[in-house]
A and B are shown apart, each in its own frame.
Chain A
Amino acid sequence: MTQNAVRPTPASPTPPGGHLLEVRDLHVEFRTREGVARVINGVTYHLDAGETLAVLGESGSGKSVTAQAIMGILDTPPAHVRGGQILYQGRDLLTRSEEERRQVRGTEIAMIFQDALSALNPVFPVGWQIGESLRERAGLSRADARRRAVELMDLVRIPAAAKRLGDYPHQFSGGMRQRVMIAMALALDPTVLIADEPTTALDVTVQAQIMDLLADLRRDLGMALILITHDLGVVAGVADRIAVMYAGRIVEHADVRSLYRAPAHPYTKGLLESIPRLDVRGQALSTIRGLPPNLMRIPSGCPFHPRCPYAQQVCVDEVPHDLVLGDGRTSACHFAQEVHDDRVD
């Protein structure tokens, strides 16, 4: 029933000068009964071996859709990829056949999801679910898959792993379930792990544990990690670089330190100002006014202009290009330099 052949070995390593994974000018739209929603409008980002990229944005900004496009698990319909490239080790995934893409999933790029309770199949024991990839993809025997599943559960620090192999997802706590998800994603030793809001559904203390686990695993296993989140606080300790998304675009892209120190896009600035800080006393928390845009009627010019305190006429008329600010930072804002110099604190 399955072609559990040899794992496809990376035919070509990352080409010199290229990135491990690169999304170039990706366009995705959702065709629904109500109309066409432009969900992704020219997203470009890259990921190098062993690094952690955080993709930040509100719900509806397209961060999850981009990840699902990389995985090739978008639901079509309603989602349709309208253009762009997704280069993995220099080869465009979008031009490959569905079968080739399937081979990439799990072995090369793996993904974990937000709500582990619904993302795990409720009627199979977790050991079975972790072992499934091993049996179906790597051709392990039932017993070997079982043994390996216990190892993986140990790896993600599930206590008494061997005993819990036969338990069902609903018998685990939220944090433990997310660990099961991670163990499942690690089964085939992926090069890239995409974590889609891995801690959103969890308690704050458990959130920290899961983030630590992910950081440790990334380091120990030498994976590259894409961390999708709407929570700036989650990102700080873990990520190397941050890409901020708004209305299906990357609006700012920088290394973590410089982005926190001096955001160069009004949207990022707004996000930073809306989180409470321990080092500033008596600070009034500000919010970003207005609502995320309707993706069927994206505002003209800069899509953020209706909510932007810096907005001028040019923002209504012209779509801002990425402005390079030095040390690899970009910001899609007409007034990037001004925003950057206008320090947060």
Chain B
Amino acid sequence: MSDFETVAATEDQSARRGVSGEPGTPDRAGRPGRSRSLAGDAWRDLRRNPVFWLSLLLVVLVAAMAAVPGLFTANDPRDCVLSRQHAGPSGGAIFGYDFQGCDTFARAVYGARASLLVGAFSALITGVIALVVGMLAGFFGGWVDAVLSRVIDIVLGIPLLLAAIVLLKRVSTSGETVRLFAVILVLALLGWTTAARVVRSSVITAREQDYVAAARMLGAGNGRIMWRHILPNALAPAIVVLTIALGSFIAAEATLSFLGIGLKAPTISWGIDIDAGRVHMRESATPLIVPSVFLALTVLAFIMLGDAVRDAFDPKLR
């Protein structure tokens, strides 16, 4: 199931929210202007938000797991002995062993790497595509905007899972690394639209600002205006969307691997392990529950982090 649609739906809302004012509050003249910096306000809100700290902690933890899994477990996740099938906890294997006799915990720890690689690289490529497309569409407007917006509409209209199934079918017999890159590319190619829309709308807002007109009057070229004046404005909202997208990408990777069209063994992925654990849940549920919890917490952490940052920057809906 695609988590992108979800993000897109909430995103569209906030984009529209930005446009409409705040009707029904008469006589607003008395309030002080928004002179204090928005970023300062947002940071003050964030600092007091436990959700922010909790999700940040989880993200750091998972990142550390992906970078140096050896810190968290001494066992080798590929050291599987069938005689240990579904054996209880022993040695370093605090959650026991799975159907293949592998250390459940060690596999979950080592699974972080593939997830984060896919999530981070997909988000990175997504970010680049979104910034370029959103910047061009928002800055130049006119037919450029019309064409790019149509492209966004079309890509947004493609059901993610179905398209991924078709695309990944092509690499079904390829090796470990090729599959990893294929998954990253497929997710990025299908998932950049929401971020592009966000960038586009913030570019349009920035374009209308007085300082941009001033820079233009002083003879700054398009390139310089885009790079120096508009990009910084579009960056913050884009990063928020990309953080949430990173979580969605991790979920999507696990889903594809679960279906058997994403990553495949010998790559260790939570999706693969969840599928394996699911089949044998009646004998032992731990090999299902452990990677499930790891995956859910990781995805949640990124989504909550993005959500918290966005709320801090856009307090209107509180």
Contact = CB atoms under 8 A, between A and B. Distances in A.
A13 interface: no
Interface string B28-42: 111110000000000
A78 B25 contact: yes
Contact of B27 (A62, A293, A294, A296): A62
B219 interface: no
A140 B23 CA distance: 32
Interface in B1-57: 23-32
A342 B27 CA distance: 32
Contact of B30 (A68, A75, A118, A296): A296
Contacts of B28: 60
B27 A75 contact: no
A65 interface: yes
Interface in B90-107: none
Interface in A102-121: 118
A75 B25 contact: yes
Contacts of B24: 75
B24 to A, nearest CB: 6
Contacts of A59: 27, 29
B31 A32 contact: yes
Nearest to B33: A294
A295 B25 CA distance: 14
Contacts of A292: 29
A319 B117 CA distance: 69
A256 B30 CA distance: 29
B32 A60 contact: no
A304 interface: no
Contacts of A58: 29
A37 interface: yes
Contacts of A293: 30
Contacts of A37: 30-31
A279 B25 CA distance: 40
Given A294-B32, A296-B32, A118 B27 contact: no
B26 A295 contact: no
A30 interface: yes
A39 interface: yes
A34 interface: yes
Dominant secondary structure at the B interface: loop
Nearest to B30: A295
A85 interface: no
A75 to B, nearest CB: 6
A78 B30 CA distance: 13
B286 to A, nearest CB: 48
A64 B27 contact: yes
A34 B27 contact: no
Contacts of B30: 30, 37, 39, 60, 293-296
The contact size tier of chain A is 20 to 34
A167 B28 CA distance: 33
B124 to A, nearest CB: 37
Nearest to A68: B26
Nearest to A38: B30
B27 A65 contact: yes
Interface string A152-196: 000000000000000000000000000000000000000000000
A34 B31 CA distance: 8
Interface residues of B, number: 10
Interface string A313-326: 00000000000000
Which of B23, B24, B26, B27 lies at the interface centre, i.e. has the most chain A CB atoms within 10 A of its CB?
B27
Contacts of B32: 34, 294, 296
Interface string B58-81: 000000000000000000000000
A60 B23 contact: no
Interface in A16-55: 30, 32, 34, 37, 39
A295 B27 CA distance: 10
A68 B29 CA distance: 17
A34 to B, nearest CB: 6
A30 B32 CA distance: 13
Which of B24, B29, B32 lies at the interface centre, i.e. has the most chain A CB atoms within 10 A of its CB?
B29
B23 A118 contact: yes
Contacts of A296: 30-32
A296 B32 CA distance: 8
A302 B251 CA distance: 64
Contacts of B27: 30, 39, 59-62, 64-65, 295
A68 B25 CA distance: 11
B31 A64 contact: no
Contacts of A30: 27, 30
Nearest to B27: A60
Contacts of B25: 75, 78
A209 to B, nearest CB: 26
Interface string A287-298: 000001111100
Contacts of B23: 118
A115 B30 CA distance: 21
B29 A65 contact: no
Nearest to B315: A33
A78 B27 CA distance: 12
Given A75-B25, A296-B32, 15 more contacts: A30-B27, A34-B31, A37-B30, A39-B27, A39-B30, A59-B29, A60-B28, A60-B29, A64-B27, A65-B27, A68-B26, A75-B24, A118-B23, A295-B29, A296-B31
Give the 3 A-B residue pairs with the shortest CB-CB distance, closest first. A295-B30, A60-B29, A37-B30
30 contacts: A30-B27, A30-B30, A34-B31, A34-B32, A37-B30, A37-B31, A39-B27, A39-B30, A59-B27, A60-B27, A60-B29, A60-B30, A61-B27, A62-B27, A64-B26, A64-B27, A65-B26, A65-B27, A68-B26, A75-B24, A75-B25, A78-B25, A292-B29, A293-B30, A295-B27, A295-B30, A295-B31, A296-B30, A296-B31, A296-B32
